[in-house]
Homo-oligomer: A and B are copies of this chain.
Amino acid sequence: MSDPEIVVSAPGKVILFGEHAVVYGRKAIAASLDLRTQLKIHLIPDSTAVTLELPDISLSNTWQVADLAAAQPTGNVDVKNPSPPSDKYLAALHRLAGTDTDHTDTRTLALLAFLYMYTSIHHTTVRKCPAGRFHAASQLPPGAGLGSSAAYCTALAAGLLTMCNVISRPEGKTWSKEDLEVINAWAFQGEKLIHGNPSGIDNSVSTFGDAISFKSGKISPFESVAALKILLVNTKGPRSTKVLVQGVRDRYNRLPAIMEPILDSIEEISCTCERVLLELGGSPVDGQENTQGKNYQILEELVDICQCLLNALGVGHPSLDQVSSITAKHGLHSKLTGAGGGGCALVLLRPDTAPDVIDKVTAELRDCGYDVWETSIGATGVSQHSQPK
């Protein structure tokens, strides 16, 4: 803890293909989204207070380090293989957060994840609680299915583990594979506090970056993936993932023989995407421009077909149709990402998509009241931004 300041960032995620189908054991592809949550940790040795500032949700809490130390777990914590807090420990965290155990609002959950990781990680090492200021801000809209909570937990885990020298401060931007595994394990524990029973996709993508495939509970990161330019569109319509998932289940129960092959087709889209992304991510060699163009064409076709199949599952929405219609008019291809029924859509861009086309589409989508980001997927996972002083 010789360094007074650490700055880390962790990306969000998008589901590229396979949303909903994944519930029925089909393969899904998720990729990191280069909208990031940045965490600045500023240690203040002379102070006795710890402050957490989350301006995105208007949260600023300060605790005395003595109170935080008192809440630390009494037994040993395996820093490489963390486990969920005991009921007693969780109750202590709730007291620090100033909430009851039945509070599950965003601010309470953000406080709990911080308090849990802060107290546990320090307990495994220095067994005391250093004073300082923790400031996290995100480019990710919360509650939009873009993994904002996982990016928060991953950034917290990376910052705290590095601050305590559980993992080595990396020479470049990112950590060794082994250290990333430790970050991911802690981020997953944070996600569990927030979501109860998360799949682990979000924290894995936020930690390792690039893309992963996910099938029947098994997460398989890709070796090398191209960073794809996209527009991310948030239609901001109210939606409930639970209601949408149940709607697909109801349709499946009514018409299983019709729905099964649709899910099979979506799985094949995920498999084709995986192959194409690996090809696009390979080192380019002379004469491969045509292959690249062909692969982008296939990706565009996968986006179009998958969007139609998601509509067939019943998770479309007029706002998403509007996104499709606007982007198609300009020769671009888009699909919903995540639960659907409103929410977010991604618009695939080619490396050579003309800037004025991007500007026009962005302007038209904003005119509809939607938020639009020009960003990329397949970006670097959790990263360090400050060097040792």
Given contacts A258-B272, A265-B261, contact A308 B308 (CB under 8 A): yes
In the complex, the answer to whether B261 meets A298 with C-beta atoms within 8 Å is no
- Smallest CB separation, A326 vs chain B (Å): 11
Q: Is the CB of A261 within 8 A of B258?
A: no
What distance in Å separates the Cβ of A224 from its nearest Cβ neighbour in chain B? Answer: 23
Name A205-256 residues within 8 Å CB distance of B. Answer: 251, 254-255
> A307-332: which residues lie under 8 A (CB-CB) from chain B?
308-309, 311-312, 314, 316, 318, 321, 325, 328
Q: Are A318 and B325 in contact (CB under 8 A)?
A: yes
A257 to chain B, nearest CB (A): 4
The answer to whether A254 and B321 have CB atoms under 8 Å apart is no
Q: Would you give the 0/1 interface string for A247-277, flagging 1 where the beta carbon is closer than 8 Å to chain B?
A: 0000100110111111011001101100000
Interface size on A, residues (CB 8 A): 30
A119–chain B nearest beta-carbon distance, Å: 49
Q: Is A364 part of the binding interface, using a Cβ–Cβ cutoff of 8 Å?
A: no
Please give me the residue from chain B that is nearest to A251 by CB atom. Answer: B301
Q: Which of B255, B261, B305 contacts A301 (CB 8 A)?
A: B255
A257 to B274, CA, bound (A): 14
Q: Which residues of B contact A309 (CB under 8 A)?
A: 262, 308-309, 312
What residues of B have a CB within 8 angstroms of the CB of A311 in the complex?
308, 311
Give min CB distance, A299 to chain B, whole Å: 12
Out of B251, B254, B262, B328, which one reaches A265, CB within 8 Å? B262
A sample of 12 cross-chain residue pairs with beta-carbon separation below 8 angstroms, ordered by A number, consists of A254-B298, A258-B265, A259-B265, A261-B268, A264-B264, A305-B312, A309-B309, A309-B312, A312-B312, A318-B325, A318-B328, A321-B325
A305–B258 alpha-carbon span in the complex (Å): 9
**Per-position 1/0 for A43-84, Cβ under 8 A of B:** 000000000000000000000000000000000000000000
Q: Which residues of A contact B (CB under 8 A)?
A: 251, 254-255, 257-262, 264-265, 268-269, 271-272, 298, 301-302, 304-305, 308-309, 311-312, 314, 316, 318, 321, 325, 328
Could you tell me the distance in whole angstroms from the C-beta of A364 to the nearest C-beta in chain B?
Answer: 15
Q: Which 5 interchain pairs have the tightest Cβ spacing? A: A308-B312, A261-B261, A261-B264, A261-B265, A308-B311
Contact partner of A272 (CB less than 8 A), chosen from B255, B260, B318, is: B255
Q: Which residues of B contact A298 (CB under 8 A)?
A: 254-255
Cα–Cα, bound, A298→B254 (Å): 9
Provide the residues of chain B in CB contact with A261, threshold 8 Å.
261-262, 264-265, 268
Closest beta carbon of chain B to A264's beta carbon, Å: 4
Q: Bound complex: CA of A265 vs CA of B255, how far in Å?
A: 10
Closest beta carbon of chain B to A302's beta carbon, Å = 8
Cα of A107 to Cα of B304 in the assembled complex, Å: 41
Query: Which chain B residues border A318 with CB–CB below 8 Å?
Result: 325, 328
Residues of B within 8 A of A265 (CB): 258-262, 265, 312
CA distance A271 to B256 in the complex (A): 13
Q: In the complex, what residues of B have CB within 8 A of residue A264's CB? A: 261, 264
Bound together, the chains give a CA A212 to CA B206 distance in angstroms of 54
How close is A241's CB to chain B, nearest CB, in angstroms?
21
Q: Smallest CB–CB gap between A321 and chain B, Å?
A: 7
Distance in angstroms between the alpha carbons of A255 and B295 in the assembled complex: 12
Most-contacted residue by chain B among A258, A262, A268, A272 (CB, 10 A): A258
